[in-house]
Structure 1
Amino acid sequence: MKKLNLTDKLYLIEPQELLVIANDIKDGDVIFDVGAHYGEWSSIALNNYKSLTVHFFEAVPQTFKILLKKMGNYKENIIFNNFAISNIIGDRPFYFYEERPGLSGYHRRSEETENNIIHTTPKILKSIPTETLDNYCRFRKIDKINILKIDTEGADFDVVKGAKRLIEEGKIDAIEFEYGGCWQENGTKLEDIYNFLTERNYEVFKTSKEGFISLPKFTKEMEDYGYSMFLARRIR
């Protein structure tokens, strides 16, 4: 495990994410940061590894402008994309919370979340363009993703489904995704993404401060919608 040099403000980075960065990245890797926000996750990776190629995907125009500003010092092998990654090509309505942009997504948050956490109602952006990873990589002739990091407020499974060809052809080494109450608000289940990945030669781990916990079998107790992070590694 690599000892990370942490010089950035880490207010949006969980300890579990640092574990993935320290264990699953190596010099020269290709990283896809889907739901990049301000680029905090990838900034740590770029500061600790050499010759990375990072593809950023951030759909919200206001957040994308800040991403460009914050990541402007990284000149080489950085690709910025101001559209969403999903399982469809086209566009989708998007609920944007100006005060808490990191909680924005395809589905409106629950009344409880809006009242107690966000303290505002969303602005509806009616034409967020969407792309699939399969199509994106086919068009750009990309045949390997070492780390696919996903943080899309409950739409993580849509991202994974849109990379079905890449996954089935063994072209994505590891996939990090978040899980929590927003999945319930979106009507998606951990069991579905777990089955999708394990049926396609991936081992799923729950990440914790202590390390990676292998999940050889899905149990109903896992579907609790409590905030947690997972890593799927391709079985070689």
Structure 2
Amino acid sequence: MIASLHCFEPSIPTFELLLQRFKNTDENIILNNFALGAQEQDATLYYDKQGSSLASLRRLDHFNISFEQSQKVHINTLDTYCKMHNIEHIHLLKLDVEGHELDVLNGALELFAKNAIDIVTFEFGGCNIDTKTYFQDFWYFFKDKNMSIYRILPNSKLYKIPEYREFYEQFVTTNYVATKDNLRL
């Protein structure tokens, strides 16, 4: 089996950097100049400078970061993308979308219904304050999909979260992995 890697970057300048970085690599790396979300739409991407690693659909004025530059970007759903590219199964879905992780997951409901996603990695933290998503939202999303959530500890070990508790609502960036319940780690 040959693995393929599908990357999504909505920022045009950052996408150009990706194209340069991967121009002489394997054809199994597919670069896409749009974002993923809960529904197909256009949105505004804010940034402080061209190619900024801080580019986001959210504003960061409260960090005294001036996001005076912006561009319109397109958002598609993972379900639509996978249909268009005949992708029937995803072994690893890695999300780092500045608090919009739950939107991407909700744009993949058909894939989850078909049990077609094995593992999801995602961040939870301060970005989720802006998008008004809570750890509880992730907990019930994955519980309903028969998936378990593990916190990735600083020593790279996994800590299984057996039940939801309000204690987990800490908005300090933390990495998690959700896996099918029948998947052995």
CA distance in 2, matches of 1:167, 1:205: 18
* Residue deviations 1:68-101 (CA, integer Å, cap 9, x gap): 1112232221111000100111211221232772
2:43 pairs with 1:92: yes
TM-score (norm 2): 0.91
Counterpart of 1:64 in 2: which secondary structure? helix
CA distance in 2, matches of 1:77, 1:58: 17
CA distance in 1, matches of 2:173, 2:144: 24
Structure 2 residue identity aligned to 1:157: L
| Aligned partner of 2:127 among 182, 191, 198 | 182
Q: Indicate the larger mover: 155-164 or 190-199.
A: 190-199
* Residue deviations 1:99-142 (CA, integer Å, cap 9, x gap): 7722222121241x2x2xxx4334122x2111000111112221
Note the aligned Cα RMSD (angstroms): 1.5
| Aligned partner of 2:31 among 80, 96, 103 | 80
CA distance in 1, matches of 2:41, 2:116: 24
CA distance in 1, matches of 2:135, 2:118: 20
| Aligned partner of 2:149 among 169, 185, 204 | 204
1:104–1:77 Cα change, 3 Å: same
Structure 1 residue identity aligned to 2:104: V
* Residue deviations 1:43-67 (CA, integer Å, cap 9, x gap): xxxxxxxx43101110011110111
CA distance in 2, matches of 1:217, 1:124: 40
Aligned length: 181
Which consecutive residues of structure 2, in runs of 5 or more, have no partner in the other structure?
A: none
1:52–1:175 Cα change, 3 Å: same
Task: Give the corresponding residue for 1:38.
Answer: none
| Aligned partner of 1:231 among 172, 177, 181 | 177
CA distance in 2, matches of 1:172, 1:98: 35
TM-score (norm 1): 0.72
Task: Give the corresponding residue for 1:134.
Answer: 79
Task: Give the corresponding residue for 2:66.
Answer: 120
Task: Using the aligned pairs only, state the percent identity.
Answer: 29
| Aligned partner of 2:109 among 136, 158, 164 | 164
Q: Indicate the larger mover: 102-111 or 190-199.
A: 102-111
1:99–1:225 Cα change, 3 Å: farther
